[in-house]
Amino acid sequence: MAKRQDFASKTAKKEKHGKACPVCGEIFTHVLSVNLESSKKEGAYHFVERNVGVCKCNEKEIYG
């Protein structure tokens, strides 16, 4: 008797909440991106936090 392997059942469920990218269809993964930016007035640096949606289109830019 040959055993049947069900690969389809291995496919993990993806979270359905969150927006999907209209280009690639991936659900955006939200990553907190922290950039060091300089303030022109004070000549000091401060951290700017941004919540960035990452999908296949821009994951290379975000993760490098």
Q: How far is the CB of 30 from Zn ion (least distance, A)?
A: 14
Contacting Zn ion within 4-63 (CB under 5 A): 21, 23-24, 55, 57
Q: Rounded to an integer, what is the distance from CA 60 to the centroid of its chain?
A: 10
Q: Please answer whether residues 55 and 21 qualify as being in contact, where contact means their C-beta atoms are separated by less than 8 angstroms.
A: yes
Among positive and negative, which fits the CA dihedral 24, 25, 31, 36?
Answer: positive
Q: How far is the CB of 34 from Zn ion (least distance, A)?
A: 22
Largest Cα–Cα distance of the chain, in whole Å?
77
Q: How far is the CB of 55 from Zn ion (least distance, A)?
A: 3
Which residue number, 47 or 63, has a Cβ lying nearer to Zn ion? 63
Q: Contact residues for Zn ion (CB under 5 A)?
A: 21, 23-24, 55, 57
